[in-house]
Structure 1
Amino acid sequence: MGSSILKQFVCCFLIIIISWEPQALSRMIPDVSMIERHEDWMSSYGRQYKDAAEKERRYNIFRANVNTATPLMYENVTSVPPSIDWRKKGAVTPIRDSTCGKSWTIPAVDAVEGLTKIKTGKLYTLSVQEILDCDGGGHNGCEGGFTDDAFQFIKQHGLTTESNYPSKGNVGTCDTKKEDEPVAKISGYENVPVDNENALMQAVANQPVAVIVDASGMDFQFYSSGVFTGDCGTALDHGVTLVGYGTSNGKLKYWLIKNSWGVDWGEDGYMRMQRDIAAKEGLCGIAMEAKYPTK
């Protein structure tokens, strides 16, 4: 009798294990397709990490962003205005004068400032210093980092104002009290399709967008006025913010770029860069890595 009961128990146990095992294994075995997507993303954007632990952390952030992303709003251009200037709509704060290599933070902050104005009607100059001081994730502060990290920090913590947490020109100790006083928050951020100036135009028609460009060339660095058509490559090294687009004299299409090199650079701190060139990456790689916050 006891043997019969034991056999029935073992049989039931095996049935449960067989029915449960595929789900368990699916949770235990890494998502190969997601790993491949991350490797492709790293290759596309030239991402390199200092060690395996850092790569794993970045992969987990990448996977979380993909899994929680809302449907991309700006994949296909439908109807957009022929020109837009978010400055005229009161959604752009004054030009910053970056005193250290923090251009990885500024475009994200600019974009969040614009989105906050669009959604709430209030324009705040937000704190870049808060990100430098309080983001503990693997960036190098004034020595550079990734725009993704800045957006990720803002998603998790929000941002207070620059007047509440002013710039210091270097990385300091996080003021946790001020960090706990955010005036702007986002739900996440999205990537604009790579190498697609039409999708980028659609995004900018809706809000300011953070982009990375190749700003290493002398033509870019010594730009003073007019529509920029100079020489530059696609080795992305500098973050800027797209705050509009238009056409000069009815002929030459351009992007309106907000830089962070002070008001003495370019057109009072801005650049008009040629738009819709033959190269899919756009001039200076402007269409290669563009992101916008969501709320």
Structure 2
Amino acid sequence: MASNFFLKNITVVLLLFSILSLYPFIVTSRNLKELSMLERHENWMVHHGRVYKDDIEKEHRFKTFKENVEFIESFNKNGTQRYKLAVNKYADLTTEEFTTSFMGLDTSLLSQQESTATTTSFKYDSVTEVPNSMDWRKRGSVTGVKDQGVCGCCWAFSAAAAIEGAYQIANNELISLSEQQLLDCSTQNKGCEGGLMTVAYDFLLQNNGGGITTETNYPYEEAQNVCKTEQPAAVTINGYEVVPSDESSLLKAVVNQPISVGIAANDEFHMYGSGIYDGSCNSRLNHAVTVIGYGTSEEDGTKYWIVKNSWGSDWGEEGYMRIARDVGVDGGHCGIAKVASFPTA
């Protein structure tokens, strides 16, 4: 009996000793992981030129960075999605911060708009034959990817991109146009607080004879400032149309020119890295982009739209995104066909 009691006690002691001996290893492992994340954050700060005002902000940003990185790595490790997320220049921002500063589509303006849109039937309704793919970049109709910075004026970039494309197709000349002119002067929009592409078109038609100046003449400043009137028009539009809110109509339009659209972007959009986005969407349209083409994946036959964004060329697929097409949802995936429009040049 005494022998059994002694053996049991020895076993318990050895077990406790084993657990205690592992504790420093567990703690050290956690510490190393934290140190590794701190180092990644420091390297990320250097790479993106990020500087914080004090240690309190840095600590807050590190916490957000760590949470985002862990989410991204966990998501990508799953390996079942058609798209990947990336630790990009927005990795230290919360979803709320990003949405407030970088998304600015305001569909409430639809009800307030003094529209000059063409009221006849859809211009491209009679289109019956469409190619299997289209990419307006390959036809020289798309300027380089731009960066709106910390200003919710995606609507101005989407409108300018659509005008650039329409003018190039009509005149065989690609001109980079001024988003800042739209930001400063289209006062029915809300500047960095949001806007709508058709309101921007209306401004040009009602006040400038349809004319917009070049980006060189009126460069982007990442803030709304006093409108500089009497700017020379480099490009003139003579109207615009609203596309019926279905993907079939959007396809007919994109075959003919780049199209301004709104999307319901969720928290994964600002972390998007590559692939065909078929993930969840926001409950409302909140971001403006430009559809510049479409195609089909050679890997699994998934159809997609090619979208030009305005978050810089270091976001997504060199500034572009592919969004799932023909998914059987009214208005398309993330509502991409719900508020589509295009200028006529």
TM-score scaled by length of structure 2: 0.65
Match of 2:169 in 1: 118
Tell me: CA distance 1:46–1:130, structure 2 relative to 1, closer, same or farther (3 Å). Answer: closer
Q: Is the 8 A contact 2:109 2:196 kept in 1?
A: no
Question: What amino acid is aligned across from residue 211 of structure 1 in structure 2?
Answer: V
Match of 2:229 in 1: 176
Q: Is the 8 A contact 1:75 1:192 kept in 2?
A: no
3-state SS in 2 of match to 1:240: strand
For residues 150 and 236 of structure 1, the distance between their equivalents in structure 2, rounded to whole angstroms, comes to 18
Match of 2:7 in 1: none
Deviation at 1:288, TM superposition (A): 0.8
Match of 2:276 in 1: 227
Question: What amino acid is aligned across from residue 182 of structure 1 in structure 2?
Answer: A
Question: What amino acid is aligned across from residue 153 of structure 1 in structure 2?
Answer: F
Match of 1:147 in 2: 197
3-state SS in 2 of match to 1:176: coil
Counterpart among 188, 213, 225 of residue 263 in structure 2: 213
For residues 238 and 125 of structure 2, the distance between their equivalents in structure 1, rounded to whole angstroms, comes to 20
For residues 162 and 73 of structure 1, the distance between their equivalents in structure 2, rounded to whole angstroms, comes to 29
3-state SS in 1 of match to 2:273: coil
- Is 1:288 paired with 2:338? yes
For residues 185 and 244 of structure 2, the distance between their equivalents in structure 1, rounded to whole angstroms, comes to 30
3-state SS in 1 of match to 2:296: strand
For residues 289 and 240 of structure 1, the distance between their equivalents in structure 2, rounded to whole angstroms, comes to 11
3-state SS in 1 of match to 2:147: coil
- Identify the range of structure 1 (256-265 vs 230-239) with the bigger mean alpha-carbon deviation: 230-239
How many pairs align? Answer: 235
For residues 209 and 154 of structure 1, the distance between their equivalents in structure 2, rounded to whole angstroms, comes to 17
3-state SS in 1 of match to 2:311: coil
- Is 1:278 paired with 2:339? no
Match of 2:108 in 1: 47
Deviation at 1:48, TM superposition (A): 6.1
Deviation at 1:104, TM superposition (A): 1.4
Q: Is the 8 A contact 1:213 1:234 kept in 2?
A: no
Tell me: CA distance 1:234–1:283, structure 2 relative to 1, closer, same or farther (3 Å). Answer: farther
Q: Is the 8 A contact 1:75 1:193 kept in 2?
A: no
- Is 1:189 paired with 2:240? yes
For residues 118 and 245 of structure 1, the distance between their equivalents in structure 2, rounded to whole angstroms, comes to 17
Match of 2:134 in 1: 84
User: Which of structures 1 and 2 has the bigger CA Rg?
Assistant: 2
Give deviations 1:9-47, integer Å, cap 9, x for gaps: xxxxxxxxxxxxxxxxxxxxxxxxxxxxxxxxxxxx952
For residues 304 and 261 of structure 2, the distance between their equivalents in structure 1, rounded to whole angstroms, comes to 15
Question: What amino acid is aligned across from residue 186 of structure 2 in structure 1?
Answer: D
3-state SS in 1 of match to 2:274: coil
For residues 160 and 133 of structure 2, the distance between their equivalents in structure 1, rounded to whole angstroms, comes to 23
- Is 1:102 paired with 2:163? no
- Is 1:166 paired with 2:219? yes
For residues 290 and 90 of structure 1, the distance between their equivalents in structure 2, rounded to whole angstroms, comes to 22
3-state SS in 1 of match to 2:235: coil
Deviation at 1:234, TM superposition (A): 4.4
3-state SS in 2 of match to 1:265: coil
Deviation at 1:236, TM superposition (A): 0.2
Tell me: CA distance 1:85–1:70, structure 2 relative to 1, closer, same or farther (3 Å). Answer: same
Q: Is the 8 A contact 2:107 2:195 kept in 1?
A: no
Gap runs ≥5 in structure 2: 1-105
Match of 1:135 in 2: 186
- Is 1:266 paired with 2:316? yes
For residues 199 and 222 of structure 2, the distance between their equivalents in structure 1, rounded to whole angstroms, comes to 19
3-state SS in 1 of match to 2:160: helix
Q: Is the 8 A contact 1:114 1:208 kept in 2?
A: yes
3-state SS in 2 of match to 1:47: helix
Tell me: CA distance 1:226–1:238, structure 2 relative to 1, closer, same or farther (3 Å). Answer: same
Counterpart among 242, 254, 269 of residue 291 in structure 2: 242
